[in-house]
């Protein structure tokens, strides 16, 4: 690219100035640098992620700022496509301006050159030859032709002859090819961009869908028919299921792309490393199409896609395909009742659950067959443990607030004892807190549930409080009925507070009801009485599943149970969901792409490679020889001059070698 500086710009018309500006190197470099910066942003900032992820990462202010700038989908932003279009126009103008001159330069041997100019060149030598002018010219032309030079002889006045030679004239095609390649690659990129979708959305012909609804209910303005347009979409297909659509992520929603065929996932296979990380995964597919006599079977894996009818089907990811789950519901609160209920559900299924006055929506989110993770109870991050299968779910209130739970199926050993482990958090930004429910000798929650039932039995609590009150006041003289009732009521109240709100409720009572001066003493006394009450209730009706334990082990189980019950208020769920069985179904995550501009881009890349090769490895070299006859049969004087448009140091050596050969071939007698 070059500017035309022969004529003052002020003499050009407005249209000519605009034409020169569009074809200027300054504009082209500016556009290329802008695209480079945009590409860096598109590489550093992960593209096309759910908007909720960006909001959590950047916050509302920066999210809106980046969203308005189109940084979440840089390569499809209108400003990026506009710069790409302007670069095509600028490069096209440059090609139009400079191609005619370059083509002329490819064939022009520049015979109209003066002797003075030849002698003034940096690369110039002169020698005398004993040969006649005709013989010298013939020998020179023979040698240059053998070295691949194109020649042209011009007879001058007074017995002088100019021989113009050029090699590497195709070097000029390198400039043309590289500029054309930029245009072709950019055009291919524009063809494969979603610019048509932008215009269709701007015109109101399509509407981005943001609701989570079945495909059959998605309106026509949110569906894209099968055609020749470019797209990159994704779809998760469970094993044994089919799909004839894919989903295009668009900002905070999606569009549905119809496919001209149906994809069936026959089988999905995955291998893991010892750490639990995926090692490899592949999918057996069947393509059903009316144009096929029978379904097309193929196995795809990462970096081994299936190409069919211009569509590329990639193995991109995997997920749960709706695993069937069998779950036992253990009540944790009095409102949830006392019976263990078993029900069947599956991943991604939502249902409304009623536990007493609790009306919660159960959203089953995920299932994992095994979990090899760092032990959250161990400070050593390298201490890995296989926690076995797990489920992830949310319990959502009518107001929309939800807590996320993560429950393991198998018991977790800790300090020689077994627990059911359940993680809970209020938002994805938080770390999981863990609830440990102690298991009895039969590796079940029977003993824990039994103790919970005892604490909800008012008659048992009253009886235990009465016995403890009698023993406490047995050594006190003159005990009146009011004191007995007060002490018994306090004991029952402590148990009820503990059952309803755990240790948090008891501590709140101590802080609000006892004066500061007596808080430490009386607070410890209240906690001691509570533990004594819990122990009495526990041992008065010991669960049969604990009968095989010795006294020390029974006390340890009691302490574990009390610790678990004391934190139930923070757990936030009236029940504990225990996974007992599952029917694992996996889904293959496919990425389906169609890029009609890809052949154009490939052609542009090939043209770019050819252009770069011509530019850097085929320099244009020009030689001129002035053959001056000294007289008939006397000899000649030869002047050799040359120039090259690239690699001047390499041309120094080349020129010296050519000069030596020509001197030998032309009968050199002396060198000046």
Mean pLDDT to the nearest integer, 66-84 = 85
Structure-derived torsion over alpha carbons of residues 383, 430, 351, 323, reported in degrees to the nearest 10: -30
Spatial contact of 623 and 642, defined as CB atoms under 8 Å apart: yes
Model confidence pLDDT, tens digit, residues 514-542: 787 777 777 788 888 888 888 888 888 87
The C-alpha atoms of residue 407 and residue 419 are separated, in whole angstroms, by 11
* Cα radius of gyration (the chain): 43
The C-alpha atoms of residue 627 and residue 135 are separated, in whole angstroms, by 11
Predicted confidence at residue 3, as pLDDT, reads 45
Q: Is 90 exposed, middle or buried (0-12, 13-18, 19+ CB in 10 A)?
A: buried
Model confidence pLDDT, tens digit, residues 251-263: 778 999 999 999 9
Predicted confidence at residue 7, as pLDDT, reads 54
Mean pLDDT to the nearest integer, 202-222 = 88
Hey, which bits of 230-357 come out as E strands? 231-238, 242-250, 253-272, 278-288, 296-301, 306-308, 311-320, 324-331, 341-346, 350-355
Mean pLDDT to the nearest integer, 64-86 = 85
Give the number of other Cβ atoms within 10 Å of residue 24's Cβ: 19
Model confidence pLDDT, tens digit, residues 82-99: 888 899 999 999 899 889
391: Cβ–Cβ under 8 A, 6 or more apart, which residues? 325, 327, 347, 364, 366, 367, 406, 407, 409, 577, 579
Mean pLDDT lowest for which of 236-240, 366-370, 619-623, 667-671?
A: 667-671
Q: Per-residue confidence at 429, pLDDT binned at 50, 70, 90?
A: confident
Spatial contact of 279 and 271, defined as CB atoms under 8 Å apart: yes
β-bridge pairing 668-671 and 384-386: unpaired
**Residue carrying the six token digits 């081994």:** 304
Q: Per-residue confidence at 113, pLDDT binned at 50, 70, 90?
A: confident
Mean pLDDT to the nearest integer, 355-372 = 87
Report helix, strand and coil shares of the chain as percent, to nearest 5: 45, 30, 25
Spatial contact of 259 and 244, defined as CB atoms under 8 Å apart: yes
The DSSP secondary-structure symbol of 373 reads: E
Q: Which long-range contacts (CB under 8 A, 24 or more apart) does 446-450 make?
A: 446/543, 446/545, 447/543, 447/545, 447/546, 447/557, 447/561, 448/561, 448/564, 449/330, 449/331, 449/338, 449/340, 450/541, 450/543, 450/545
**Residue carrying the six token digits 């090939």:** 606
Give the number of other Cβ atoms within 10 Å of residue 345's Cβ: 18
Predicted confidence at residue 671, as pLDDT, reads 45
- The first and second tokens of residue 230, run together, are 């470019």
The C-alpha atoms of residue 150 and residue 148 are separated, in whole angstroms, by 7
Per-residue pLDDT at 340 exceeds 80: yes
- Considering only CA atoms, which of 370, 405, 182 is closest in space to residue 273? 370
- Domains of the chain in start order, with CATH, are 9-105 (no CATH), 110-168+619-671 (3.30.160.110), 195-321+586-596 (2.60.98), 348-436 (no CATH), 451-547 (no CATH)
pTM for the full predicted model: 0.69
Task: Please report which helix (H) or strand (E) contains residue 516, including its range.
Answer: helix 516-540
Between the ranges 165-174, 287-296, 633-642, where is the mean pLDDT highest?
Answer: 287-296
The C-alpha atoms of residue 338 and residue 196 are separated, in whole angstroms, by 61
Model confidence pLDDT, tens digit, residues 283-324: 999 999 999 999 999 999 999 999 999 999 999 999 999 999
Q: Per-residue confidence at 438, pLDDT binned at 50, 70, 90?
A: very high
Mean pLDDT to the nearest integer, 494-499 = 88
Spatial contact of 574 and 335, defined as CB atoms under 8 Å apart: yes
Percent of the chain with pLDDT over 90: 36
Q: Per-residue confidence at 474, pLDDT binned at 50, 70, 90?
A: confident
Predicted confidence at residue 18, as pLDDT, reads 84
Spatial contact of 577 and 405, defined as CB atoms under 8 Å apart: yes
Per-residue pLDDT at 478 exceeds 70: no
Mean pLDDT to the nearest integer, 121-143 = 89
The C-alpha atoms of residue 452 and residue 564 are separated, in whole angstroms, by 11
Backbone angles phi, psi at 604, to 5 degrees: -65, -40
The C-alpha atoms of residue 299 and residue 306 are separated, in whole angstroms, by 8
Query: Three-state DSSP class for 439?
Result: coil
Spatial contact of 335 and 358, defined as CB atoms under 8 Å apart: yes
- Considering only CA atoms, which of 571, 541, 578, 552 is closest in space to residue 456? 541
């Amino acid at each position: 690219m070059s500017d035309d500086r022969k004529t003052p710009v002020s003499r050009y018309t407005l249209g000519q100035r605009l034409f020169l500006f569009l074809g200027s190197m300054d504009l082209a470099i500016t556009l290329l640098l802008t695209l480079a910066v945009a590409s860096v942003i598109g590489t550093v900032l992960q593209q096309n992620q759910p908007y909720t992820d960006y909001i959590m990462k950047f916050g509302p202010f920066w999210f809106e700022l980046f969203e308005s700038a189109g940084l979440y989908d840089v390569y499809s932003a209108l400003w990026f496509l506009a710069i790409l279009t302007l670069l095509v126009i600028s490069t096209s103008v440059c090609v139009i301006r400079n191609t005619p001159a370059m083509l002329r330069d490819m064939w022009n041997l520049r015979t109209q050159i003066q002797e003075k100019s030849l002698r003034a060149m940096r690369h110039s030598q002169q020698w005398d030859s004993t040969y006649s002018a005709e013989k010298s010219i013939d020998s020179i032309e023979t040698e240059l032709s053998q070295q691949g030079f194109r020649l042209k002889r011009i007879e001058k006045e007074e017995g002088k002859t100019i021989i113009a030679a050029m090699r590497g004239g195709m070097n000029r095609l390198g400039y043309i090819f590289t500029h054309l390649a930029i245009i072709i690659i950019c055009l291919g990129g524009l063809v494969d961009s979603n610019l048509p979708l932008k215009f269709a959305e701007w015109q109101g012909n399509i509407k981005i869908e943001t609701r989570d609804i079945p495909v059959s209910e998605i309106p026509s303005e949110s569906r894209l028919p099968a055609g020749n347009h470019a797209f990159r979409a994704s779809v998760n297909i469970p094993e044994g299921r089919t799909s004839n659509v894919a989903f295009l992520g668009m900002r905070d929603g999606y569009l549905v792309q119809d496919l001209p065929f149906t994809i069936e996932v026959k089988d999905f296979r995955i291998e893991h490393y010892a750490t639990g990380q995926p090692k490899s995964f592949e999918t057996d597919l069947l393509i059903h199409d009316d144009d096929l006599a029978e379904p097309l079977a193929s196995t795809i894996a990462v970096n081994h896609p299936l190409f069919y009818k211009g569509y590329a089907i990639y193995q991109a990811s995997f997920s749960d395909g709706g695993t069937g789950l069998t779950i036992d519901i253990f009540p944790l609160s009095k409102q949830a009742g006392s019976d263990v209920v078993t029900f069947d559900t599956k991943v991604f299924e939502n249902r409304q659950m009623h536990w007493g006055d609790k009306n919660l929506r159960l959203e089953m989110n995920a299932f994992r067959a095994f979990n090899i993770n760092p032990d959250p109870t161990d400070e050593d991050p390298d201490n890995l443990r296989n926690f076995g299968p797990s489920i992830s779910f949310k319990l959502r209130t009518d107001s929309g607030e939800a807590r996320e739970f993560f429950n393991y199926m198998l018991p977790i050993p800790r300090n020689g004892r077994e627990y059911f482990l359940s993680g809970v958090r209020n938002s994805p930004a938080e770390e999981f807190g863990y609830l440990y429910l102690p298991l009895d000798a039969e590796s079940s929650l029977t003993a824990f549930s039994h103790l919970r039932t005892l604490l909800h039995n008012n008659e048992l609590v009253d009886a235990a409080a009465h016995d403890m009150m009698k023993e406490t006041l047995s050594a006190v003289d003159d005990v009146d009925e009011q004191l007995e009732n007060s002490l018994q009521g306090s004991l029952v109240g402590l148990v009820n507070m503990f059952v309803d709100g755990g240790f948090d409720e008891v501590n709140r009572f101590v802080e609000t009801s006892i004066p500061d001066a007596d808080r430490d003493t009386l607070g410890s006394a209240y906690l001691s009485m509570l533990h004594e009450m819990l122990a009495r209730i526990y041992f008065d009706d010991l669960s049969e599943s604990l009968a095989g334990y010795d006294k020390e082990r029974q006390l340890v189980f009691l302490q574990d149970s009390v610790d678990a019950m004391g934190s139930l208020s923070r757990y936030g769920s009236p029940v504990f969901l225990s996974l007992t069985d599952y029917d694992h179904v996996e889904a293959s995550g496919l990425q389906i792409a169609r890029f009609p501009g890809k052949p154009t881009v490939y052609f542009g890349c090939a043209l770019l490679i050819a252009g770069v090769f011509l530019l850097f490895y085929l320099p244009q070299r020009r030689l001129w020889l002035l053959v001056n006859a000294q007289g008939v049969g006397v000899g000649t004087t030869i002047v050799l001059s040359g120039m090259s448009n690239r690699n001047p140091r390499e041309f120094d050596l080349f020129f010296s070698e050519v000069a030596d050969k020509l001197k030998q071939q032309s009968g050199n007698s002396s060198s000046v």
